[in-house]
Structure 1
């Protein structure tokens, strides 16, 4: 799995609030750095996940060849960007994602399985 952003500043470290929340859940994000989304990443990905409808539209507009492979993990809910916000904002996003993914896990499993079948077994991408 790769992680990239539409407007990521290359090499920027993960916000300390997100790192602290990750540590609470035994997830080490200290080595993670921002990476801008690239055509090469998209070509190598069979599934692209975006956090909201706007990101999905932007990815599909910039890279029309990925249409049909771009989805939101919480299809009916947009996930906000807590960047430079409070720890509580990060925690709320994490809670929304965790709860939504738990309920939507069968949908994501289906998307992964369908994408793998159609496009081979290449890693997915999260923008």
Structure 2
């Protein structure tokens, strides 16, 4: 199965999911990559520290605007990547048809990506590193 439409989910949609979505978009420019939050800070830009840590790799997330996960977004997605087991469960409980296409981004390495919101830049760098490690495991599956 081809994963041509990938949705990345976190809580507020201003830190982890925009970072991961930008990494995926850079790696797979031919695919549709989107992000959303289970409790999104709708209309907010990406967190300044997320913008800062992504800029070190020449990845610009300045134009990101947070949005709430929705029935339309999950229905369109071929693959939904979350930051934690609890987010995966939340999505599957709300939309049972998402079972089988919703996975924790760190599924293959048994890792949740901790929320860096409100914490020092160094914590954002750790989150970014964990996202990179997690996405590496998805390479053969996403192609």
TM-score range, shorter chain: 0.7 to 0.9
Q: Which has the higher contact order (CA 8 A, sep 6+)?
A: 1
Structure 1 match to 2:126: 92
* Of 30, 38, 42, the match for 2:70: 38
CA RMSD of superposed structures (Å): 1.3
How far off its partner does 1:99 sit?
A: 2.3
TM-score (normalised: structure 1):
0.80
How far off its partner does 1:10 sit?
A: 1.1
Q: Which has the larger radius of gyration?
A: 1
Bigger proportion of residues as strand: 2
- Which blocks of at least 5 consecutive residues in structure 2 are unaligned? 1-32
- Contact 1:5/1:34 (<8 A) preserved: yes
User: Where do residues 64-103 of structure 1 align in structure 2 (5 Å cutoff)?
Assistant: 64-75=96-107, 76-102=110-136
Number of matched pairs: 109
- Contact 1:6/1:36 (<8 A) preserved: yes
Q: Which runs of 4+ in 1 moved over 4 A?
A: none
